[in-house]
Amino acid sequence: MRAGEPLPPLEIPVTRTLIVAGAIASRDYQDVHHDAELARQKGAPDIFMNILTTNGLVGRYVTDHFGPAAVLRKVAIRLGTPNHPGDTMVLTGSVEEVDGDTAVVRVVGANRTGTHVTGTVTVTLPAGEAAR
């Protein structure tokens, strides 16, 4: 792992099922994450993904790249435009800095309307893995 190393993009189809399942799994029962009519009454065009689902997908993106031995130490994200059913979120990233077996990865997730998520993930790899 080297500073400047890009991660390959990951396309995630944003389905109604993904949004609802992510909200339920994270115990986020706010109606805007599962009830389209109530979401529209509150000004949204449809239900939208919650931050905990996005956080999990960002973590998955990094561990998919670095492998099952990777340990997420910190995930710091900020949401932008919502993910709605029918969107495709494309995650991209690059290694920003490396200190021994620990790296900071900058991640961006975008959909058809703009940037959904930006942030950094601090990840640690076992000593033998970090040299790759």
Q: Is pLDDT above 60 for 132?
A: no
For the chain, what is the HEC assignment?
CCCCCEEEEEEEECCHHHHHHHHHHCCCCCHHHCCHHHHHHCCCCCCCCCHHHHHHHHHHHHHHHHCCCCEEEEEEEEECCCCCCCCEEEEEEEEEEEECCEEEEEEEEEECCEEEEEEEEEEECCHHHHCC
Q: Is pLDDT above 90 for 126?
A: no
- pLDDT value of residue 81: 98
Confidence of residue 105 (pLDDT cuts 50, 70, 90): very high
Tens digit of each residue's pLDDT (9 = 90 or more) over 16-61: 999 999 999 999 999 999 999 999 999 999 999 999 999 999 999 9
- Joined tokens for residue 120: 């950094």
Global confidence as pTM? 0.92
- Going by C-beta distance under 8 Å and a sequence separation of 6 or more, which residues neighbour residue 117? 54, 58, 77, 78, 79, 80, 89, 107, 108, 109
- pLDDT value of residue 1: 81
Q: How far apart are CA 58 and CA 52, in angstroms?
A: 10
- pLDDT value of residue 129: 62
- pLDDT value of residue 127: 73
